[in-house]
Structure 1
Amino acid sequence: MFKDVSDLASCEVLIVDDSELMRRLLVGCLQEICNVKTVESAEQAIIYCQEEQPDLVLMDWVLEGMSGLEACKKMQVTPKLSEIPIVFVTSNANEESQLQCWEAGAVDFVPKPIVPKTLQNRVKTHLKYKLQADVLRNYSFIDGLTGIYNRRFFDAEVERLLKQHHRADHALSMIMIDIDFFKKYNDYYGHLAGDDVLKQVASKLKEIVRRPLDTVCRYGGEEFVVLLPDTPLQGAKIIAKTLVRAIAGMALEHSQSEHSVVTISAGVASATKTCASVESLIKSSDDMLYYAKGAGRNTYKCTD
């Protein structure tokens, strides 16, 4: 079901129009419904959307420089921007113009002259659709048992971060984590108890890894992975050491482990010139995890 209209107050709509009078008119129609921002050109709109990610764009068809139609097409083929719905505000309401709107990827159009109530209702409808889509998208990226991000999210996020690393030369590190002797735990204590351990470990990892840009994901089974953008290897080593100690410090009984409590092993790697692909970064951290297990578990290892 749709959320209440009152929920729309936190939504952001970007108005793109080179007429100051039209911008004022549109702001006046919408300012009591949602948060409204304005820019004068399609070029400014694309830059703004890349930085701020508004929930809806109201774009004039005819603009100085890049047209609204061209901007819409460009946004549709840009992964970071393709989920932002675009509504054209246009006096071109004939059938051919409408067809061009749909083909460019717009979700709707509002004809000029503006009828305030029509504009408000259409904006409300599309904001509600956007909220619902965001909720569904988030659910599809959340692991049902632990409540943290899942493998699907990791696959998308690590690829995005690695592209960012190559483009802007930002550091990127990864920690691969495995709960030690987890099969023995399940066999001895039962799968319900094992599920509870997974949830507690996930919660502790998330509690410690709390920078907004950092991400904890369930990689599969008893494996977790931590993505650390803007974090060099030395920083990732400190975080891995903290995580290993924190899980052991929870003192969750594990009589089938040589450590007597639930522990983790961790492998740390950073993106480098020789570790430049998703596959190589995963393999490097997984290799380090293997060495940590060989070193007696309840520890971490990292690449040189």
Structure 2
Amino acid sequence: MMLERQRILVVDDERINRKLLSELLEVHHDVVVAKSGEQALERMQADTGIDLILLDVMMPGMSGHDVLRRLKGNDATKDVPVIFITSLNSVDDEEIGLDLGAADYIIKPFHPGIVRLRVENHLRFVRQRKMLETLAGRDCLTEIDNRRRFEEVLEREWRRAGRGTGPMSLAILDVDYFKQYNDHYGHARGDQALKAVAKALSGGPHRSTDFVARYGGEEFVMLFPGTGAAGARELAETVRRAVETLCIPHEYSAIAPHLTVSIGGATSEDFQAPALALVEAADSMLYRAKAEGRNRVVWLA
């Protein structure tokens, strides 16, 4: 079976280096280029399919170190491996890069064979990690089910509900002011906070058919098959209170001195529409919950 082509972002202010690296790698991979740190961040924001970044350290304006700090500070990009390619060749320089979170360090002038082999090694790790996450259906950070697994369960339960098993309710939960939490407390504590929220969610629903998963970033989802609006809303409220009682300090929240969550939910008894309609309805209620002040549950019956 042919492997899917992986995507590499090459970031270097020197055109000749971008050209050499692109020609070296584009035989087996899709290559995207950027000529500055600012442009690299724009590329990452626009393209969520980047698997690996080759990043120059010494660039005008934003340095490679600054770019890496920004990447590691963003939940959407923090897990993308970065290989520094640089003329800085002291042990101290390498230590700085690795301490910032770089996956590897290649010294200029680079040897094409070495670059190719190291790139292949890191892309293999990326491919294996994605395969394991997919097969396991688990989120590596929180150790609860992931979005892919949720989508599978939702489709299955939606079909079952269509055969007359009763209503279905769904809630989407968002951690309030989580970016501010990460910015001021650091991402290690941010990860710990997400784990604590996941544990609070997992302790909420008690029936074997109820389901919780990490939806992405600081969002989680709860599915309640066979549960009407009143019961599901009360379950969601129980989860909201459970997160509050964790009393995780959050000095930079605009609504409370501790970590809180906003929850939007919806209930459906019409299973002729696609299951995505229920997700969209819950998401619109989450938007309302945040617009109305956060740290609350808003439900659409």
TM-score by length of 2: 0.54
Name the SS for the 1:208 alignment partner. coil
Preserved contact between residue 252 and residue 261 of structure 1 (Cα < 8 Å): yes
Paired position in structure 2 for 1:176: 172
C-alpha distance after superposition, 1:14-47 (max 9, x if no partner):
xxxxxxxxxxxxxxxxxxxxxxxxxxxxxxxxxx
The number of aligned residues is 169
CA distance in 2, matches of 1:275, 1:290: 25
**1:77-226 aligned within 5 A:** 140-226=136-222
What percentage of residue pairs aligned between the two structures are identical? 40
Structure 1 unaligned spans of 5+:
1-135
The structural deviation recorded for 1:208 is 1.6
Which AA in structure 1 matches 2:281? S
Q: Deviations over 1:151-173 (max 9, x none)?
A: 01011110111111111242211
Cα distance per residue 1:129-149 (max 9 Å; x no partner): xxxxxxx79952011000100
What's 1:228 paired with?
224
The one of 266, 273, 278 equivalent to 1:276 is: 273
Root-mean-square deviation (Å) = 1.7
The CA deviation at 1:222 is: 0.3
Q: AA paired with 1:143? A: D
* Aligned residue identity for 2:267: S
Match of 1:294 among 268, 291, 294: 291
For 2:180, the aligned partner's letter is: K
User: 3-state SS of the aligned residue for 1:184?
Assistant: helix
Residue pair 2:165, 2:226 contacting (<8 A) in 1 also: no
The amino acid that maps onto 2:260 is T
1:216 deviation in Å?
0.7
Aligned-partner residue type, residue 299 of structure 1? R
The 3 A distance-change label for structure 1 pair 141 and 274 is: closer
Query: Post-superposition shift, 1:273?
Result: 2.5
Measured in 1, the distance between the counterparts of 2:164 and 2:290 equals 34
Give, in whole Å, the separation in 1 of the partners of 2:174 and 2:233: 16
Task: Name the counterpart of 2:233.
Answer: 237
Question: In 1, distance between residues paired with 2:273 and 2:180?
Answer: 36
Aligned to 1:13: none
- C-alpha change, 1:144 and 1:250, in structure 2 (3 Å) is same
Residue 174 of structure 1 aligns to a residue whose secondary structure is strand
Q: CA deviation at 1:272?
A: 2.9
Counterpart in the other structure of 1:113: none
Task: Kindly provide the CA deviation profile for residues 89-124 of structure 1, in whole angstroms up to 9, marking residues without a partner as x.
Answer: xxxxxxxxxxxxxxxxxxxxxxxxxxxxxxxxxxxx
What are structure 2's unaligned runs of at least 5 residues? 1-131
What is the identity, as a one-letter code, of the residue corresponding to 1:278? Answer: A
1:178/1:222 contact within 8 Å kept: yes
Query: Aligned equivalents of 2:211 and 2:277: distance in 1?
Result: 19
Distance apart, 1:229 and its partner CA? 0.9
Aligned counterparts of 1:137 and 1:297: Cα–Cα separation in 2: 31
Give the structure with higher Rg (CA). Answer: 1
SS in structure 2 of the partner of residue 261 of structure 1: coil
1:275 CA displacement: 8.0
- Aligned residue identity for 1:168: G
SS in 1 for 2:214: strand
Determine if contact 1:164/1:170 at 8 Å carries over to the other structure.
Answer: no
